[in-house]
Chains A and B, each alone.
Chain A
Amino acid sequence: MKSKITKKFEELKGKDQKALITYITAGDPTIKDTEELVYSMEKAGADIIELGIPYSDPLADGPVIQRAAQRALENHINIDDIFEMVKRIRKNTEIPLAFLLYYNSILRYGIEKFIENCRESGMDGLIIADLPLEERIGFKSALKDTGVDLIPLVAPTSRERIKNIVEGSGGFIYCVSSLGVTGTRSSFSEDIEEFLGTVAKYTDVPRAIGFGISNPDAIRQLKGYCEGVIVGSAIIKKIEEGIKDGTHVSKVQEFVSELKSAVLE
């Protein structure tokens, strides 16, 4: 069975378009806001949405997404609340959704129960920031035939590991643009073309570039090398700017529209 993520990439390929993937942290600043943000980002042209599960120790994240997680945790958001929210979202939209999370959240919740809830609520993919190739074997087999994609991350340092990482993957390949944690970058490595080329050598699964893509210019610079671009911290910054006067949803919608224009150009 093809996942909604796979179908979305096929649909875009037919139109000769790249995917715009947007990230927000679930529960930042509230669960209700997250639900609204999903709808408004879809309206503005997001093709796939990543929902971060807030974690106390997000060691792959920079300060912006750390603050988002802290705001959500201060409101005592937990995974059960997030699954309930996804069920509500699924009554209104079929936009592909993926969780971005840390493995301890799954382990503590219970692997089987977590996967079952993903299926039931209508989640399409999982991106686990700290579950590399060496540790994913058991989890990957538990996900088999569930219709939920395990989306692997590859980094510029992965080199000869890329072949094994992408083997048997679904959804898309999350290509980390450069060394470091999530957050804004002023420039990207010149090696990115070679890196993305190596990924394509080993898989036909679409490639999306993330980490540090913060504005339309960065999208213009990178979209030729991949099938999708991922924007996270820059969106969270718009939420931060708008929280005080309650304009965060409209600010995000406006920003995602600008990103979409750059994708479509």
Chain B
Amino acid sequence: MDDKYALKSRFGKYGGQYVPETLMTALIELEREYEKAIKDEGFIKEFRYYLKEYSGRPTPLYFAENLTKKLGGGKVYLKREDLNHTGAHKINNVIGQVLLAKRMGKKRIIAETGAGQHGVATATICAMFDLPCEVYMGKEDVERQALNVFKMELLGSKVVPVTSGTQTLKDATNEAIRDWVSNVDDTYYVIGSVVGPHPYPTMVRDFQRIIGDEARAQVLEKEGRLPDYLIACVGGGSNAMGLFYPFIEDKDVSIIGVEAAGEGVDTEKHAASITKGSLGIIHGMMTYLLQDDYGQILPAHSVSAGLDYPGIGPEHAYLHDTGRVSYVSVTDDEALDAFQMLSKLEGIIPALESSHALAHLVKMAPKTKKGDVIIVNLSGRGDKDVYQVAEILGGRKDEK
């Protein structure tokens, strides 16, 4: 690996391993096994095999001509992660981690999920490899995302509703960690984003960098040069880290992460950890998070369940501090507008998460030059969201 901070436990001051002692030996073992695996050609070959044959990679870098014309600025390319099997980038990481779990001889898989995309991806891969899988999901999300719950059960996984705390992703993650503390000998915990204690943020990024590696080669082929802008949404931040990472050293590429502003960053209902958060510890990592004056973690809010997380991956916190990546935020309403815009203009229904990246594109593209090249990470498809969006938009029509 040529990565300059590969397998260091921190990104600047962020990251680390703030977990109960019971887990430390398991984290050290994971780090050691992961380090061996990524240097093993056989492992990399197997990982790439499943990405290609099972998930359908490489995903296209699609020139969105209609959107480009409408916005009147630079050329817009969409990295079509929505075309992966199970409908989002999440599966890249799950294939990597479950292959690692198998290699380590683990007999049982657990995962957390918010909206259910990571849960469905994990249930899918566990079905293929015939591994028992339990997915922790906040009770509120279980009710909001009934279709994904059904999918996970259909795939043979057990969905465990979490009733502690705010009953959402943050609490599902706590509960998965508690399970892992109790069953650490035979259980592998598949974390769904670039969050958690070291080595997870590094490992998940490495499994997701395929997005950026492909995009880089594709844009060089289509445009003969690197892009001027990269845009991706950031909840925990795995799709963004995956796209950004291979471009970090390319100083002429402007990189923008888009957080969920919910009902506005000046309200209490948002998920903008970098824009409005402060230094703290969540899920074993030091990073920016939403918390009160005494360090109690505050509930996040976003129309998009996948961005509804009060923390952010530690590498993003670092890239914010160094200024390499700019972090901005867009509101629920702006994301909903972008959701409809892409559907009508390009015939692609984006996930509400990815709609945040698109909403920022809508704001900034008109200010870019005609010759500029912009890549937006279309991290997932919106099939899972159409019912929710129909309810919100239907409600608005009724109000009018």
Q: Does A59 contact B (CB under 8 A)?
A: yes
Chain A interfacial positions (CB closer than 8 Å to B): 55-60, 62-63, 66, 70, 73, 78-79, 102-105, 107-109, 129-135, 152-159, 161, 165, 176, 179-181
Are B20 and A135 closer than 8 Å at their CB atoms?
no
Q: How far, in Å, is A128 (CB) from chain B's closest CB?
A: 9
- A154 vs B20: C-alpha distance in the bound complex, in angstroms? 9
Given A55-B296, A135-B17: A181 touches B25 (CB 8 Å cut-off): no
Q: Is the CB of B20 within 8 A of A130?
A: yes
Cβ-Cβ contact count across A and B, 8 Å cutoff: 117
**In the complex with contacts A57-B282, A107-B280, A135-B18, A157-B294 CB distance below 8 A:** no
Q: In the complex, which residues 120-176 of chain B have their Cβ closer than 8 Å to any Cβ of chain A?
A: 164-165, 170-171, 174
The answer to whether B281 has its CB under 8 Å from any CB of chain A is yes
- Contact assessment for B178 and A104 in the assembled complex, using a CB-CB cutoff below 8 Å: no
B161 to chain A, nearest CB (A): 14
Residues in B neighbouring A135, C-beta threshold 8 A:
16-18
Q: Which residue of chain A lies nearest to B163 when distances are taken between CB atoms in the complex?
A: A63
Q: A107-B281, A129-B20, A165-B21 are in contact. Are A179 and B181 (CB under 8 A)?
A: yes
Q: How close is A234's CB to chain B, nearest CB, in angstroms?
A: 18
Bound CA span A78–B292, Å: 11
- Of all chain B residues, the one with the shortest Cβ separation from A128 is B18
Beyond A59-B19, A104-B297, A157-B22, 11 additional contacts (C-beta under 8 Å) are: A57-B171, A59-B283, A105-B295, A132-B20, A133-B21, A134-B17, A155-B20, A157-B23, A161-B24, A179-B182, A180-B22
- Verify if B389 is at the interface (C-beta below 8 Å from A): no
- Binary interface profile of B, 274-292, with partner A (CB < 8 Å = 1, else 0)? 0000111111100000010
Is B9 among interface residues, defined by CB-CB distance under 8 A?
A: yes
B184: CB under 8 A from chain A?
Answer: yes
Query: B171: nearest residue on chain A (CB-CB)?
Result: A57
Q: Which residue of B lies closest to A134 (CB)?
A: B17
Contacting residues, chain A, for B183 (C-beta < 8 A)? 179
Q: Are B297 and A56 in contact, with the CB atoms below 8 A?
A: yes
Q: Whole-angstrom distance from the CB of B265 to the nearest CB of chain A?
A: 20
A-B contact pairs, 22 of them (CB 8 A): A57-B165, A57-B297, A59-B177, A62-B178, A63-B164, A107-B280, A107-B281, A107-B295, A129-B20, A130-B19, A130-B20, A132-B18, A132-B21, A134-B24, A152-B21, A153-B20, A155-B22, A155-B24, A156-B22, A157-B22, A157-B26, A179-B183
